[in-house]
A and B are shown apart, each in its own frame.
Chain A
């Protein structure tokens, strides 16, 4: 039967466009009972019954439904959805009679089509700047200059606060709308370096400033700049970050030089849907701040979560975000935290599923829900739902190659995991294991044409074998280098 995209089959069954297979079946059965010609003799019900049957015929079959959806989109008839969602599996057909097999799902979330072109989001931002003695000189001067540039780029609708910290925190500029940028910049100029590094102090003071005006703004974000280790307050920093996440305050962290605690800053940013960044040279500070503000002002949705509910026997093994860089997605009770989504760029990621045994046929392996808060629409927990179904076929060739972009993404994720493995081995004191992993990783990097990163890894492997330690600079170069592999292949760079 040819499907006419102009007929709204979802309306015929009275289900939303993102209805699951179960919902469609349920709706059809209910409707069929009501309008069945045997039950109703009223004129026109026969037509209704036929329409319901036709709609069910298409919507109950994943292939037909996808084709129909596609035609609707092409004909411009698709209703406005909150998110655009794409998912591609590493193979569409799975094997029969296998205890456990693996399938990868590459996904892509973007803002709903109608929402992509929108104005700038007003921001509530707090800059938390390290002014410890080690920042003295170029680091602090560049930081101050970058902060002043940032003040110029903010608009009158934005609220800014500035906090500095050493052993204790000072509020340099209390939270207020930017009405007099010159005055704010003058305060920044007066910042002087001295004292130690206590990140917790800075975080708490910054979060307090943001909290003052949080209710008026859709986007509240704290940007932390530091160049040193904080001692003894790491756990409390993390609890502060978790508390911030509960209040929907994002935190991004920037580490300058080699001596800061990458594990801590990554964890803080990860918990709050922010980003972390390694700044090797002070000249990059300004660039990072500008990018961060741009990203924040184009936030479409925050607290975006992907909830996967696998059927019994299927489980989620790992999940990685691929944009803006490779990052392991922590999952608690099947919810994958994706952070915030910008209106002008997609968030993509890759999921590894372990699938239990199945008979031949088509089976649903999981149900997925995409959720997020969309400030511009005053929508909380907007949901998009979809079933993840696979065909199982006994005659499938197990060596069918996966789509090439899944392969190239996975190749990079694999390297990232080897790096994680090396650092984990080192943490446990397994120097030989860590060295071996770094060396193997270097070989793979050479295979990929990543010569610079490969050399860094080999150098560190050699150092590790001889001294039992990584150099702080090498450790960061490898960690932030491997996670950025996804950005561009050397050819494109």
Chain B
């Protein structure tokens, strides 16, 4: 028997969808996140090889704080550990992103459950797309999935259709 990753219902091998909760049993998720129309998303791509300032160069390391502001206006601070997954909370599937964009219309805005990750290396913040269905955009440019890209003050991020403002202080 195979167990539904979402609701735990047992099915005979070879079954493709859970009869109880409707998820695709191979992934425990939907068959696919519906791609947004191409026209809804910016079309230029970021240069994947652009590097951040080399850590340690320039000004002496100082304590910085990253604040991101989604359209709802609520301020979200990067957790102290300096790393955060942005996405959409899905308790039934055990996905608890540090920054949940559900209140910002994440589901309809095409935000994946695990959409992007922000982390800090030395004094530099990086944004990394986690292979999301609808992409992560930095100042209107699409990021190559799984390739961290440096984040600066006043940068604008777009996850699917949801835009968020970045400020580094």
A contact set with B: CB distance below 8 Å: 90-91, 94-95, 98, 100-104, 354-355, 398-399, 401-402, 406-408, 410-411, 414-415, 417-418, 421, 440-441, 443-444, 446-449, 451, 490-491
Contact = CB atoms under 8 A, between A and B. Distances in A.
Contacts of B23: 444
B31 A407 contact: yes
Interface stretch (B11-19, B50-58, B122-130): B11-19
Is chain B's binding surface mostly helix, strand, loop or mixed?
Answer: loop
B31 A411 contact: yes
Contact of A399 (B26, B30, B34): B26
A324 to B, nearest CB: 22
Given A411-B31, A447-B30, A490-B34, A441 B13 contact: no
Nearest to A450: B34
Given A446-B107, A448-B31, A410 B12 contact: no
Interface in B1-45: 11-24, 26, 29-31, 33-34, 37
B108 interface: yes
A463 B17 CA distance: 28
* 8 nearest A-B pairs in the assembled complex, by CB-CB distance: A449-B34, A447-B30, A102-B14, A444-B22, A414-B17, A101-B14, A101-B13, A102-B15
Contacts of A451: 108
Contacts of A421: 19
B30 A102 contact: no
A108 to B, nearest CB: 19
Interface residues of B, number: 23
Nearest to B16: A410
Contacts of B17: 410-411, 414
B24 A407 contact: yes
B22 A418 contact: yes
Interface in B37-83: 37
Contacts of A407: 16, 24, 31
B108 A408 contact: no
Contacts of A441: 22
12 contacts: A101-B13, A104-B16, A355-B14, A407-B24, A411-B30, A418-B19, A421-B19, A444-B23, A446-B108, A447-B34, A448-B30, A451-B108
